[in-house]
Structure 1
Amino acid sequence: MATPLPGADVIAGLRAHARSARRLAVAVLVASIASLATAQMLAERAPTREGTRPFAWLALAVLALAVPAMALTQAVWGARSRAVRLREQALYARPSSGPRHAACRLGVAAGWALTLLLGFTVPRLFMESALYGLAGATSQAIEVVALAGFAAGVFFAIWWTRDALVHRTASPSDPWDPGRQERGGERRAAWAGAATATFALVAARAHLWEPGTWLLYALFGVTLACLLAAWAGARRQGVLVTHE
C-alpha cells in the first residue's frame, strides 16, 4: 500500500469546502434568476396599476438582495478554490484546471449577465405602476450598475482568456490524490431539474412561450425544491464521507 503524501488529506478537505461553496454560489445564482424572472412576469400580468406595484417592489427587493448575495457567495467560492489550487501546486506541482473550470466560469458570467439584463427592466415596472419618480431614480441606479457590469465584463474576458491559456490541462492523475471523483447522481438530477425549470422561466420572461400564471408558480416551486434536494443530498454525502 502506498503511503499518502503529506498534505493529501488536507487537499481532500479543502476540495470538500470548495465544492460546498460552489454549490451554495450556484444555488444563489439560480434562485436569483428564477425569483427575479417570476416577480417581473407576475408584475406584467397584474390587471391594474395598483396590482402591479407589489410585484414591482418585490422585483426591486429581489434584485437588491441578489446582487450582493451572488457577489459574496462567489467570492467565498473563489477564495476556497484558490486555496485548493495553491495546495495542489505545492504538492503535485500543478494546480487543477482545464475545460471544466473554464466552462464553469463562463456559465457564472452568463448568469451574472442574465441577472443584470433582468434587472434593467425593473424601472419599466415602476413606470407601468405610475410611480414615475421611483422609475426615474431606479433608472439612474441601473445605468450606474450597467456601466460597472460592462467594465467587469471586459476585465473578466481578459482574465478568462489569460487563465484559459495558462492552465489548459488538468492536474495529472496521482495515486496519492484522494477524493478526486465525486459521486452524486441524485444531486445531478436535482441540479438538472432546477436548471430546466429556471430556463423555462427565463424563456417565458423573454416571451418565447406564454405559460399560465399557475404554471409560473409551479416552475418557481420546482426550482426551489430541486435546489433544496441538491443541497440536502450534498449534505448527506458529506456526512457519510466524514463517518467513513
Structure 2
Amino acid sequence: MLLTEMAPPPGAQGLAEMRARARTARRRAFIALSAAIALLATAQVLADRAQSAEQTLPLAVLSLAVFLMALPALAITQYVWGAHARLVRQKERELYAVARSGRARPLSRLAVACGWAVTLLLGWTAPHFFREAARYAFADALRWAAEALAVMSVAAGVLFVLWWARDAVGMLVRALRSGGSPGDPWDPGRGARPREGAALWTGAAMAVAALVGARAHLWEPGTAVVYALLTAALVCGVVTGE
C-alpha cells in the first residue's frame, strides 16, 4: 500500500489546512509589497517627467498617498503572515517534534526587509516632488518627517540585521543537529501550481525591478513602457493571489 493511501496521522489534515492559510497569507504579503513598490516607483517616474508644477502636484500627492497607505498595509499583511507561520511551526512541533516549514524563513525575511528598504527609500523622496510642485512649506515639513523616519528606520534596520543573523545561525545549527525534518505526504496543497506560480512571481519581480531601475535613472523607458510594467506587476500579483 502506498504511503499516501494510508490514513493520515491525527492532526495531519488540520496541519495541511493551516499550511494552506499560511501560504495564502504569505502570497498576500508579497503582493502588497510588490504593488506598493510598483505604484510608488511609477508615480515618481511620471512626476520626474512632468513639465510643470501643476502637472507635478497630483503625482506628488499620489506618491505620498500610496506611501502612507503602504506602511500599514505592509505591516498588517506581514503580521498576519507571521502569525499563521508561527501557528504552523507550533503544530509541526506537536506532531513531528520538529518544525518542517521554516527552512526558507531566513531568505523570505531578507527579501521582505529589502522590500521595506526600497519602499522607505522611495517614500523619503516625497519632499522633493512637493518642492518641484512649488509647495515649499509643505515640502519642508515633509523633509523633517522624512528625516525622523530615516533615523528610526536605520535603527530598526541595524536591529533587524543582528536578529536575523542570530536566527539564521540558530536555524542552521538546529538543521545540522537534527539531520533534516520528516516529510509529510498528507499536505495536498504543497507544490500546487509550482511552475505557473514561479513564472508569475518572476514576472512580477522583474517588472518591479525595472520600475525601480527607471526611478533610479538606470534606464529611461518610454511612458507607455512604464505603464505596461506597472500593469504587468499588478496583474501578475493578482493572479498569484487567486
Question: Structures share a fold, TM > 0.5?
Answer: yes
Q: Does structure 1 conserve the Cα–Cα contact (< 8 Å) formed by 2:32 and 2:73?
A: yes
What code does the residue aligned with 1:164 have? Answer: A
Identify the range of structure 1 (8-17 vs 139-148) with the bigger mean alpha-carbon deviation.
139-148
2:190 to 181, 185, 188: 181
* Residue 110, structure 1, aligned to residue 114, structure 2: yes
Instruction: Mark the runs of 5 or more structure 1 residues left unpaired by the alignment.
Output: 233-244
Q: Does structure 1 conserve the Cα–Cα contact (< 8 Å) formed by 2:89 and 2:102?
A: no
1:155 to 145, 153, 159: 159
Q: Deviations over 1:174-199 (max 9, x none)?
A: 35653473221212211111111111
Q: TM-score, normalised by structure 1?
A: 0.90
1:26 to 22, 30, 54: 30
Q: Aligned residue pairs: how many?
A: 232
What code does the residue aligned with 2:206 have? Answer: T
* Residue 38, structure 1, aligned to residue 47, structure 2: no
Task: State the distance in 2 between where 1:174 and 1:50 align.
Answer: 60
Q: CA offset at residue 3 of structure 1? A: 3.7
Q: Does structure 2 conserve the Cα–Cα contact (< 8 Å) formed by 1:97 and 1:171?
A: no
Q: Does structure 2 conserve the Cα–Cα contact (< 8 Å) formed by 1:94 and 1:171?
A: no
1:137 to 111, 135, 141: 141
Task: State the distance in 1 between where 2:24 and 2:236 align.
Answer: 16
Q: TM-score, normalised by structure 2?
A: 0.91
Q: 1:214 to 1:226 in 2, by over 3 A?
A: same
Identify the range of structure 1 (20-29 vs 130-139) with the bigger mean alpha-carbon deviation.
130-139
Q: CA offset at residue 171 of structure 1? A: 5.2
Secondary structure of the corresponding residue to residue 167 of structure 1 = helix
Identify the range of structure 1 (1-10 vs 55-64) with the bigger mean alpha-carbon deviation.
1-10
What code does the residue aligned with 1:173 have? Answer: P
Q: Does structure 1 conserve the Cα–Cα contact (< 8 Å) formed by 2:22 and 2:88?
A: yes
* Residue 207, structure 1, aligned to residue 207, structure 2: no
Report what 2:181 is aligned to. Answer: 172
Report what 1:238 is aligned to. Answer: none
Task: State the distance in 2 between where 1:188 and 1:29 align.
Answer: 17
* Residue 89, structure 1, aligned to residue 99, structure 2: no
1:190 to 200, 207, 211: 200
* Residue 228, structure 1, aligned to residue 238, structure 2: yes
Task: State the distance in 2 between where 1:65 and 1:9 align.
Answer: 37
Q: Does structure 1 conserve the Cα–Cα contact (< 8 Å) formed by 2:88 and 2:101?
A: no
Q: RMSD in angstroms over aligned alpha carbons?
A: 1.7
What code does the residue aligned with 2:190 have? Answer: Q
Secondary structure of the corresponding residue to residue 182 of structure 1 = coil
Q: Does structure 1 conserve the Cα–Cα contact (< 8 Å) formed by 2:60 and 2:126?
A: yes
Report what 1:239 is aligned to. Answer: none
Secondary structure of the corresponding residue to residue 61 of structure 2 = helix
Secondary structure of the corresponding residue to residue 104 of structure 1 = helix
Q: Does structure 1 conserve the Cα–Cα contact (< 8 Å) formed by 2:40 and 2:122?
A: yes
